[in-house]
Amino acid sequence: MKTFTKEKTLRSMLNIDTQIKLEELEKELDQQKQRNEDLQKKIEKATEGREETDERKELLEELGKLEAQLTADSAELEKFRECDPVMLRQKQADTNTAKEAANRWTENIFNLQSWVSNKFGVSTADFNKNFGIPEDLDTVD
């Protein structure tokens, strides 16, 4: 008798769980149907005025031509990017930075030559020869 009661209780619990799940799924189905209706209305509203007419076809053709022209013009403009004033100013600033850095390192070499010459009595020619420094090393103007 107890087994029968347990089975009955278990079936009852399964039925309740199934009913709850069914209600949740029905609620979700209703929400999805409502969403579908809303999207259909949006589609209908968006397609209003987009009927295929000769004027629309002409305008779409013109739009295609203008987009192609824009692409061609952009490609041609890219060719002249090197001559862009902003780009030229940036290159000039970068060049000045590199020049200052090169002169700073050159001055550092001269200072080191002077220090070694004063401290150890090494001539500039010997210093240059030992460290592979060209004789005509000078700052960049």
- Give me the tens of pLDDT residue by residue for the chain, a chain 141 residues long: 455 676 777 677 778 888 899 899 999 999 999 999 999 999 888 888 777 778 888 989 999 999 999 999 999 888 888 788 888 899 999 999 999 999 999 999 999 999 999 999 999 899 999 999 998 888 888
Domain span at 30: 1-39
| Amino acid occupying residue 34 | Q
Instruction: Give the C-alpha separation, 69 to 76, whole Å.
Output: 10
Q: Is residue 4 part of a domain?
A: yes
Q: Are 127 and 133 in contact (CB under 8 A)?
A: yes
| Per-residue model confidence (pLDDT) at position 87 | 86
Burial of 106 (0-12, 13-18, 19+ CB in 10 A): middle
Instruction: Give the C-alpha separation, 135 to 123, whole Å.
Output: 12
| Per-residue model confidence (pLDDT) at position 1 | 46
Q: How far is CA 60 from the centre of its chain?
A: 31
Structure tokens at 110: 């001269």
| Backbone conformation region of residue 132, classed left if phi is above 0, alpha if psi is from -120 to 50, else beta | left
Q: Is residue 73 part of a domain?
A: no
Q: Is residue 28 part of a domain?
A: yes
| Per-residue model confidence (pLDDT) at position 104 | 95
Q: Is residue 114 part of a domain?
A: no
How many independent structural domains does the chain possess? 1
Q: Is residue 9 part of a domain?
A: yes
Phi, psi (degrees; rounded to nearest 5) at 134: -65, 150
Q: Are 139 and 107 in contact (CB under 8 A)?
A: yes
Q: Is residue 7 part of a domain?
A: yes
| Per-residue model confidence (pLDDT) at position 84 | 83
Q: Is residue 106 part of a domain?
A: no
Q: Is residue 24 part of a domain?
A: yes
| Per-residue model confidence (pLDDT) at position 135 | 87
